[in-house]
Structure 1
Amino acid sequence: MSRFLRIICLLLVSQATFATNTRAQNQSAQPVLPYGSTPVMQVAPDGVVHLDGPYANYSNPQYTTPAQAAIGQPVVPQPVLGTGQAGATADTSFSNYLYNAPIPPQFDHRTGFYGDFLFLRPRNAEVAYALPIDGPVLPVLGNEVPIGSTAVVDFGYEPGFRAGGTWCLSAESSLAVQYSQFSSNASDSASINPADGVLRSLVTHPLGANAATDALSANASSSIDYQLIDGDYRGQIVGRESCETMCASALNFILGGRYATMDQDFGANFVAAGTTSVNTNINFNGGGIRFGLEGEQHRTSRGLFVYGRGVTNILVGEFDASYRQSNTFAGNQAFTDWSAGRVVPVVDLEAGIGWVGPMRRFKVSAGYMVSAWFNVVTTDEFIQAVQQSNFVDPSGTLTFDGLTARVAWEF
């Protein structure tokens, strides 16, 4: 009996073990997410959304068809803006600097450079060199009777240039360096019919041999050249900008120095039986201090502005002048050299209008300028001093006036 009971118990235990194994095999094992993988959402065959690893298999207990393998989507990392190479390039590009940099106030001092086109005319620099008279007279000026227009060599408008740069020390101060160059040339000629009279020279020495030099034709040429180097410190006096009125104002003082050179050359020829020539040269070298004011008034809504500048230069330098008269047959007839130290005040005035670009970096302007040089030895004054043998105070005033145009870039 006991043996029979043991057999029954063994059969019951075996049946229970088989049932347990069968249930375990019918249940789907949960997928295991590999280490370091990113979970993705997948829809199982039973219609339920599961957060599982890629390529997980699901059983379908409601259908007899085998469960299909669900293919997961690979995870693609997204770039972070500004951390890659492309973002860094965009942040440091010139276009970003040009269009996205902060806009500075109009009155701030800036670092930059500029170039100016000058179209100027020298005035008070003309030389009268010949006079048509009614016939040969004694070789003394003043005895002739004029019968026509005086022959004059005079200057017209000629191009020149200025170029310079500024270095910002602070929002209220800066240093500036500027170079200017101008060159002007003029020529003239005259002739007369022998039946009408002759040309009397106005530039030869009256007491030299054959100095009256009556001629039937004459010509003359003249030139004036100058070069300037300016160095300035500029400081702000007034600087304001209003968003309500859309206006900005700037007023600065200028304090610095100037070095200047100026050359004046003249030559005339009188043709008769021979040729009599007169040549003069006047050279000036000097330097000194300069001071003045400059201001701008802006209409910020349109980028337009007006400007004005006034600077006084006190130059201390030396004039060296020479005079030569010669004849093809007689050789040298008169010659002399002369030197003197002078204080030469120079006043520069300029006013005009301009336009500023949207980012306040590009500027264009155009205006009118006058530069007056006082206590200058001019060609006409020097020739008269030689003719009269009086060198007490050969001086005059030279002026240069005309149009200016500027293109500037500021950082």
Structure 2
Amino acid sequence: GPENKQGISPVELEFEQATKKSKHRLIFLKGKDDKKRHPKMQSLISRATPHVVRRRFTTIDELKKELYAALVQFLCDSKIISCTPFDESACPGATLADISDEKVAWFIPVAKKERGFPLNPGTPTEQVLKHLDLLEAAQPTNAAILLFGLKPQKYMPTAEIKCMHYHGTVVAKPIPSHQIFTGTLFDQVDQATDFILSKINRTVPPRDSAPISETKYEIPKEVIQEAVVNAVAYRDYTSAASVQVSVFSDRIEVRNPGNLPSDLTFEDLKIEHNSRPRNHRIALPLYFTHYIEKIGYGTIQMTTGCRDAGLPEPDFSQSGREFVVTLWRDWLTDAVMKDLGINARQKIAIKIVKETSRVNSTDYSTLAKISRQTAFRDLNDLVRKGVLEKQGVTGKGTYYTLHKRLIKVTYDPVHGEG
């Protein structure tokens, strides 16, 4: 439609107002080539993509199908129509014979120790499942099979975690390491977490000075496990896709089928927000066994865990119909700093930015006991080397943040970075 005096179209105005008021938003895009669209529309699509589910269509029939599915989902999520959630539904064909008594026996004492679970060891399997609301008319629910099943993939083949390790920063074949983990959700989380930990850097204290349990990983184990648990607890199990973990040289990506609730933004995930567990019956046993610290706080814990470890905050995004968590690795190792020629003074600046997420010339000059001019030169040298990113133009509001990966920049010694 026609733009207003500020050059904003009705579509953009509608989107901005709906976002401010936390309204449910649906975006349907015709065609697949966004490069042919007007630059302003490209910009709107780019801004909207991280916050809402967008679907594409080429024909009117496809649009009707996508719109119908989206509206039904909205009505279910809003409790306007009755829809039994997947995890609460009876698993077709499953019986109590498909439940592992051994897994249930393992669960009881762990849940009792961690969260004061009221049932005692030796309680019959059926009684435990009833207590956890994992039976539907004496038949195991989908959640029961996923958590305690003998062979969960017999009924849900894509309920698995695919783990891949790449030496570089992009997907490339052949894949150096590729494993698929199945079994119960407890087993999958343990195996996927161990896979990631085996591929990242760690420091092990000498045997005579500390127990092996104090092994320190470049990304805290708790953060990694939280990302994996979040994926299996919140994924859409009606999707034919699996949870996918990719370990790159600069980051770890954890993808799960599903979408962020439309009234939440990715910025909301880093602060206290209302919990909207997609699979509450799955999340609760994970909470009892301390796989989940607190239901609804996983993304906050990932954020604070990375920040406390001196790492960049994780990124949360939507890629098509997949929710993506990106954990950034500590790429700025001693070896990298040596190769870049970073001096002892500049390491103080890097320490500040890792601990506080930012640094300015005043704080740096004070802590390093150097002049403001030297501090300014040091910080801009780190910008030139691709370590820091300058925020602001000039004045007291200028500060520097750490790049999430090494950035190669061109540099003009007169005007600054190009």
Q: Which TM class, normalised by the smaller chain length?
A: under 0.3
Larger Rg: 1
What TM-score do you get using the length of structure 1 for normalisation?
0.18
More strand by share: 1
More helix by share: 2
